Amino acid sequence: MSRCYTIKYISYHFFWGYHVKFSAIDLFSGAGGVSEALKKHFDIKCAVEFDKIIASTYALNHGSDHLLVKDIRKVKKKKWNKINKKLNGSNLDLLVATPPCQGFSRHSRKKSVTNSDDRNKLIMQVIRVAKIYQPNYILFENVDNIVNFKIFHIFLSLLTNLSAEGHKKDLKRPSYHLRFEVVDAVNYGVPQHRKRMILIGKKINEFPNTHAIIKESVKGIPYVTNPLPLWPITEKAPTIRKHLEPYNLSKLEAGGADEKDKLHRCRNLSPDNLVRIQATPQNGGSRSDWKEEQLSLECHKKSNVSFGDVYGRMNFDSYAPTITCGCLAYTKGRFGHPEEDRAISMREAALIQTFPYHYKFTGKSGGNANEGSTENIATQIGNAVPVKLAQSLVDLIYNELIKETQTGLFPKQLVAQT
């Protein structure tokens, strides 16, 4: 049986066989990619996910006791305060927020200036929750294009909560020293080119603080006067070949499935698309390599057509493109298998997103692993934060919290090692 003690000071990461556990909340948790990274060092007090099917996948992997399946906008303060009691009077250590990104995407049909997608307003819930929990750190992830939206600029101003002189604007809300940058997941151990805007915020405890003030460039892009000096070390990812090699995945035909690995199954191809992929050179070939003109769609014959990656193959000796919700469709991107005449499987997509092999996915509400809609599972995989990217960020914040704990700033729980 595990035992927990609260102590005033902790001098070491591990203390007499016990491990320091910090507290975290995972907003917009999705299928649980960030929670998978959190659970080694953090006690997840609450995870919030609106979609019941996606929440079912989360529950399969992380349990449901701390899971709140509800529209975050409808979670009342009384409920947040009830969860707050689990902290025993301490501030929350880490608030994670990965809100829906579709409205901020470059692929949105509305231009950034005029886009009023209601989902974009969800980022303001982070401000609301931060006011209640006063977390020591905030970790936020979204698409790179979010920096072009006025609502994100407002979000930054509210999160920083500083006047031009470096004092708190709103005394009831915490203030944060921020650093936000666009990163490519391939530089953090993920075998996939995936650009995302990452924000790390550390609570300001001493004022005035003029380093953390938000300003705007001549182009109207916000920046921090002196960004928070905290960022993970880069780690170049292995190629797709090296990343997948240890799993020894079986070969499949289009529409095939592995009898032993139910997640290793792929979509069928129409007769025309089977001919197309057979005409596409292995390891990186694309539709521009087709020698027979009749293979090309009429819409692709126009000179101003982009999306050159559709009907393309991945390259085993390079990196995958961004894994999207349409990652199982040969027609929706460079999602053709590098060598086999098929699109990638759900298993391959999940592994490229760096989910561990044991991770379970379900495509229906309350379903068991591998049950329900394949499209629902693909959406969960494509929308997830790659686990290794999340891990690099979570470990960074964890190590900072350890340093602060060693100074005696925050009393923490000790949890027996297993």
Positions marked active-site: 101
CA distance 397 to 401: 6
Of 371, 405, 365, residue with least CA distance to 9: 405
Query: Which residues fall within 8 angstroms of residue 32, CB to CB, at 6 or more apart?
Result: 26, 47, 57, 58, 61, 62
In one letter, which amino acid is 5? Y
Cα separation, 23 vs 412, in Å, equals 9
Q: ∠ CA 397-398-402 to the nearest 5 degrees? A: 115
Residue 413 has, within 13 A of its CA and on its CB side, a CA count of 20
Cα(77)–Cα(125) distance, integer angstroms: 12
Burial of 108 (0-12, 13-18, 19+ CB in 10 A): middle
The burial class, CB within 10 Å (0-12 / 13-18 / 19+), for 288 is exposed
What are the residues whose beta carbons fall under 8 Å from the beta carbon of 388, sequence distance 6 or more? 185, 188, 189, 190, 237, 354
Count CB atoms within 10 A of the CB of residue 278: 10
| Cross-strand partners of 200 | 139, 179
* Strand pairing class (412-416; 18-27): antiparallel
Pair type for strands 222-224 and 195-203: unpaired
What whole-number distance in Å separates Cα of residue 390 and Cα of residue 49? Answer: 18
Tokens read off for 248: 């020894």
**CA distance from start to end of the chain:** 10
Strands 18-27 and 94-97 come out as parallel
Both tokens assigned to 327: 């990652």
